[in-house]
Amino acid sequence: MQDLSFCRNDQRGVVRQKVQREELDCIHNDLLQLFSAAGAPITHIYVCPHESGCECRKPEPGMLLRAAEEHSIDLHASWIVGDSATDIQAAGEQVAGRLFIHNTAVAPSIECPDLKAKDLPDAVKLILEMEGIHAGKKTTNRSQHTLIES
Ligand SMILES: [Zn+2]
């Protein structure tokens, strides 16, 4: 039984040279430290730096499939968490659950996520409830991973 989190990120800003790769690495390192300090370590951050037409840019599932292969993730036992329609679409039907975090900067229309949350802490709470996990005690063994889209 593993509880791992993965973060998947489209960064065409790198291609457009609005963001230097070193700056992005720095941001990701801060993110890893913040999540780790909060008790929710992120195992790996995947980045699509391409402009378009690649297999890893959302809603294409390339990065999900790569993470699944590289870390032996059972996608059918994983939740996908995102704040845009493309995040949820990338997961298709191959995950245990899809959770949409409402983001006022993104159009609210979203095709049938399994759950909706107001922010990431709310998302974690809802998934734990869905999985029957209370106060750190797991009563079911349904999902193994949480894949966070940003
Ligand atoms: Zn790409």
Each residue of 89-108: pLDDT tens digit? 878 788 888 888 887 665 55
Gap from CA of 128 to ligand 1 centroid (Å): 31
CA distance 126 to 45: 23
CA 130 to chain centre: 17
CATH code at 4-149: 3.40.50.1000
Encoding tokens for residue 110?
């979203």
Residues with Cβ–ion distance below 5 A, ligand 1:
48, 50, 54, 56-57
- Per-residue pLDDT, averaged over 24-39, amounts to 86
Q: Does residue 30 surpass a pLDDT of 50?
A: yes
| 45 strand-pairing partners | 7
Average pLDDT score, the chain? 77
Gap from CA of 23 to ligand 1 centroid (Å): 19
Gap from CA of 51 to ligand 1 centroid (Å): 7
